[in-house]
Structure 1
Amino acid sequence: MKTTMKHREKQDKPEACSMQSADEQRLALVNKGKRLSPFYAIFIGILGYLSLGVSSCEQLVQVPMSETEVAMGLREALTVGITNAVLNTSKEDGFFGNSAIKIPFPPDAAGAMQFMENSALLRPLLHEFVKKLNRAAEGAAESARPIFADAIRNMSITDAWNILRGGNNAATNFLRSQTYDQLYAAFRPEILASLNEVGAQRVWSELTGRYNTIAAFTPNLTRVNTDLAHYATTKALDGLFTMVAQEEQKIRQDPVARVTELLRRVFARQ
């Protein structure tokens, strides 16, 4: 009778969440495995490591987050995104070696480009010009960092919630709306200086000068007067925000890209 009552009490007693640490739980699994065959010991050990993070009591309870924590998490996410975007665009071949953001020959001068492509004399200058154009963008990219950082610091809690609950490009769109004019003002002189430094402006003047001389005496050829600094600046900013958007996608979609505990908690709620 006593045995039956003890058995019933054991059945009626609810099973509490284990208070063991992760290491203690892993050790228990390994010890259990030792009493089985070597194969099952290894299997249980691996299974334990993979499942503990999912099955532990802490993971089963969603800890509420304050608005301040959400804002902090979004600031972290944006900081990670802009840091990687600036690093990837400011390095050598950051633009020139990336087909997604490589700056092409100005489309306004498409006729000139086609003419130069067909000229053995001008073709090498054309290819060198495109390379130098991208080098100018790479040289200016670093100037975006403090402007982005300032926008992130001034982000409100409302902004943070809108970004978290917004579309896949919500963070990128926020940064673009808050920083584009400042970035343009910062990039243009940098681009212009870089164009002069890498020789792109000189090559452009030589290219367009030769082309315009020919165009003046050739029917159906239009003289080129493209604002090279404006063109390069807008294309550089387009490329920069393309890279920011790629970083945002990684953080939203790939848990591995959430490099801090706060990022993991915040983006688990989206």
Structure 2
Amino acid sequence: MNDKKKIFIASSIIASSLLLQSFNFDSMIDKVTDFKKFKNPSDMSPKEVVETMTGGVLSTELITKAFKQALKVGVEKAVDTLGQKGGFMDNPAVHIPLPPPFSQMETMIRASGGGEMIDEFILSMNRAAAQAAPQTAGIFVDSIDEMSFNDAADMLMMDGSPATDYFKKHTREELKKLITPIIIKEMKTNKVYKYYDGVKKVADPGMKTFAKVSNFMGMAKKLGVKKHIPQDGVNIEEYITDHTIDGIFLMIGKSEKMIRTNPAHQTTAEMRKVFGQFVP
């Protein structure tokens, strides 16, 4: 947070407090004294700004608790929304597309008679993610419980969804390891491997023919893009797992923003106390 924002927040809180207590002369004098003491909030840490300007009401512990509650609410809403039929397939923000390198070859694959296979492949991936999402809720919640914020006060003074961003940064790889088996299970249930192999079979001959005629692989090697050519195919488990996790985090972030800015979504005493008093 920049110095101007610190000064604005601190001054606004003091001004509001002065207005509310304007009929109490002694209290007003105290507030003026506080203002003189902290007239340079740019020299203060985020924790000092928050705790001082709220009279110690908002401690780091309380802020952390409120953020964790907000994240858990976000997880609940995310998996509920994404776990619905079409939760991934029909939502452009989280829809899982045809993976590269097949996406670059889609026109050729469809022209070779693989259009229906592509459609089934995409649908199977999105269905697998939707069916896996609700099963990940407990894993996400456990990770939230174990998480330790480095500076909750700093995050409170940021815009957007800083708790979700912090959560994603510090837990993503561990979450990925725990969630991958769930994704693989649902991939099998939804025949993702069957459709993936079907698309690959249609794509490979066309690519090999094109490569033979145009020396495409030689050019690709020189250009440094050979690794993107579907020789062994994409790591489809990792691809779907990454998209599933990203989709859940996206929805958690949206929920966090709503909780921080809309009192109607502040469903616990801690959230009301923290986000109700201090909105960036």
TM-score w.r.t. length of structure 1: 0.69
Contact 1:96 1:131 in 2 (8 A): yes
- Tell me what 1:106 maps to: 99
What is the distance in 2 between the residues matched to 1:157 and 1:171? 8
Deviations 1:89-119 (A, max 9, x none): 2222111111111000013222331212334
Contact 2:88 2:126 in 1 (8 A): yes
Deviation at 1:211, TM superposition (A): 1.9
Deviation at 1:81, TM superposition (A): 1.2
What is the distance in 1 between the residues matched to 2:207 and 2:149? 57
Deviation at 1:157, TM superposition (A): 6.5
Within 5 A, what are the aligned runs for 1:104-183?
Answer: 104-119=97-112, 121-156=113-148, 158-183=150-175
| Residue of structure 1 aligned with 2:207, choices 178, 192, 215 | 215
Deviation at 1:261, TM superposition (A): 3.2
| Residue of structure 2 aligned with 1:241, choices 224, 240, 249 | 249
- Tell me what 2:177 maps to: 185
1:252 aligns with 2:260: yes
- Tell me what 1:74 maps to: 67
Deviations 1:116-161 (A, max 9, x none): 2334x32111111111011111122234322322232234465432
Aligned AA (2:243): K
Aligned AA (2:61): T
Contact 2:155 2:162 in 1 (8 A): yes
Deviations 1:142-183 (A, max 9, x none): 343223222322344654323322331211111112320122
Rg larger in structure: 1
Contact 2:101 2:234 in 1 (8 A): yes
Tell me which moved more, 236-245 or 137-146.
Answer: 137-146
- Tell me what 1:88 maps to: 81
Aligned AA (1:162): D
Relative to structure 1, the CA distance from residue 262 to residue 223 in structure 2 (aligned partners, 3 Å threshold; closer, same or farther) is closer
Relative to structure 1, the CA distance from residue 193 to residue 74 in structure 2 (aligned partners, 3 Å threshold; closer, same or farther) is same
**What is the Cα-based RMSD across aligned positions, in Å?**
2.5
Deviation at 1:62, TM superposition (A): 8.5
Deviation at 1:213, TM superposition (A): 2.5
What is the distance in 1 between the residues matched to 2:194 and 2:147? 42
Relative to structure 1, the CA distance from residue 167 to residue 115 in structure 2 (aligned partners, 3 Å threshold; closer, same or farther) is same
| Residue of structure 2 aligned with 1:196, choices 188, 203, 219 | 188
- Tell me what 1:232 maps to: 240
What is the distance in 2 between the residues matched to 1:169 and 1:69? 18
Aligned AA (1:197): T
- Tell me what 1:37 maps to: none
What is the distance in 2 between the residues matched to 1:260 and 1:95? 29
Aligned AA (2:273): R
Residue segments in structure 1 that go unaligned for 5+ positions in a row: 1-14, 17-60
What is the distance in 1 between the residues matched to 2:149 and 2:206? 59
Deviation at 1:199, TM superposition (A): 0.8
Deviation at 1:188, TM superposition (A): 2.0
Relative to structure 1, the CA distance from residue 215 to residue 244 in structure 2 (aligned partners, 3 Å threshold; closer, same or farther) is same
Residue segments in structure 2 that go unaligned for 5+ positions in a row: 1-22, 25-53, 217-228
Aligned AA (1:164): L
The percent of aligned pairs where both chains have the same amino acid is 25
The 3-state SS of whatever aligns with 1:236 is: helix
Deviation at 1:227, TM superposition (A): 1.4
Deviation at 1:217, TM superposition (A): 2.5
Aligned AA (2:74): G
The 3-state SS of whatever aligns with 1:135 is: helix
Aligned AA (1:236): T
